[in-house]
C-alpha cells in the first residue's frame, strides 16, 4: 500500500468515525477562539474550557483584556501551564488588536503570526475554525499520527503540514484536522496503540509487529 492509498484509507475511516467535528475549544467569537487556542499550548482543551467558562461571560473582547491588565489576566488563568507568559501575550495581543485593528482579529496568516504568542499553528486554527479558510493546523499529536499512518516522514510539523496538504484535497483540510485529533485521543493514543492496534494502523500496516517509535517534532 502506497501513501496515496493509505491516505484514502485514513479519510474513509475518519469520515465514518467522525462525520461531525465540533470545535473542541469553547468560544464566543473569533477573538475568544484565538485566546483559547493560545491558552491550549501545553495544556488540555478540557482544562482550557474549564478556565474560560468563568472568563468569557464577562471578558470576551480585546478591550476587556486591556482593561484587566497583565496581573489580573494572570490570576484568571493561573491554573493553566506557563500562565505568566500567556497572560503577557494575551495582554499585548489585545492591545495591538485595539490600537491597530479596531478590536478585530485580522484575517491573514501574516498579520496573525505577528501577534504576541501566535505561531503558525495557532494562526492556522483561527484561519480554519474561525474564518473557514482552508488550513491544516499541525501539532505534535498530528505529527505523530501522520508518521504512524505512513503519511509523512517529516522531521518537523512544517514538513508534515506540507505532506498532508499534498495528500489530501483542500476541501477536506479543515474537517480532517479535527478528525485526526479526535481519533488520536480516542483510538490511536501515544502510549496505547504504538501503531499496532487501532483500525487505521492495522489497515495501513497489517504486517506491522513491532511498536513504531515516531520522531518528535
CA distance 181 to 112: 23
Could you tell me where the DSSP H helices lie in 44-107? 45-55, 62-68, 70-76, 83-101
CA distance 136 to 157: 11
Q: Which of these is catalytic: 45, 58, 139, 155?
A: 139
Terminal Cα distance for the chain, rounded? 25
Q: Is 104 a catalytic residue?
A: no
Residue 16: CB atoms within 10 A of its CB come to 9
Cell numbers found for residue 205: 500496516
Q: Is 121 a catalytic residue?
A: yes
Q: Which of these is catalytic: 61, 121, 210, 215?
A: 121
CA distance 82 to 155: 26
Q: Give me the phi and psi of 74, to 5 degrees please.
A: -55, -45
Catalytic residues: 121, 139
Amino acid at each position: 500500500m502506497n501513501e496515496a492509498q493509505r491516505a484514502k484509507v485514513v479519510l474513509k475511516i475518519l469520515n465514518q468515525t467522525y462525520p461531525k467535528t465540533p470545535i473542541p475549544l469553547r468560544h464566543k467569537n473569533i477573538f475568544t477562539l484565538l485566546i483559547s487556542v493560545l491558552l491550549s499550548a501545553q495544556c488540555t482543551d478540557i482544562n482550557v474550557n474549564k478556565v474560560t467558562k468563568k472568563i468569557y461571560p464577562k471578558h470576551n473582547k480585546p478591550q476587556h483584556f486591556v482593561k484587566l491588565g497583565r496581573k489580573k489576566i494572570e490570576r484568571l488563568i493561573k491554573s493553566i501551564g506557563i500562565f505568566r507568559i500567556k497572560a503577557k501575550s494575551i495582554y499585548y495581543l489585545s492591545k495591538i488588536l485595539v490600537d491597530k485593528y479596531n478590536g478585530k482579529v485580522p484575517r491573514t496568516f501574516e498579520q496573525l503570526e505577528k501577534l504576541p504568542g501566535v505561531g503558525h499553528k495557532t494562526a492556522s486554527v483561527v484561519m480554519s475554525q474561525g474564518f473557514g479558510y482552508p488550513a491544516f493546523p499541525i501539532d505534535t499529536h498530528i505529527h505523530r499520527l501522520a508518521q504512524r499512518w505512513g503519511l509523512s516522514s517529516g522531521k518537523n510539523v512544517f514538513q508534515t503540514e506540507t505532506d498532508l496538504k499534498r495528500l489530501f484535497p483542500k476541501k477536506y483540510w479543515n474537517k480532517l484536522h479535527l478528525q485526526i485529533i479526535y481519533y488520536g485521543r480516542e483510538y490511536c493514543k501515544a502510549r496505547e496503540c504504538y501503531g499496532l492496534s487501532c483500525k487505521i494502523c492495522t489497515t495501513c500496516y497489517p504486517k506491522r509487529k513491532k511498536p513504531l517509535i515516531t520522531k518528535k517534532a
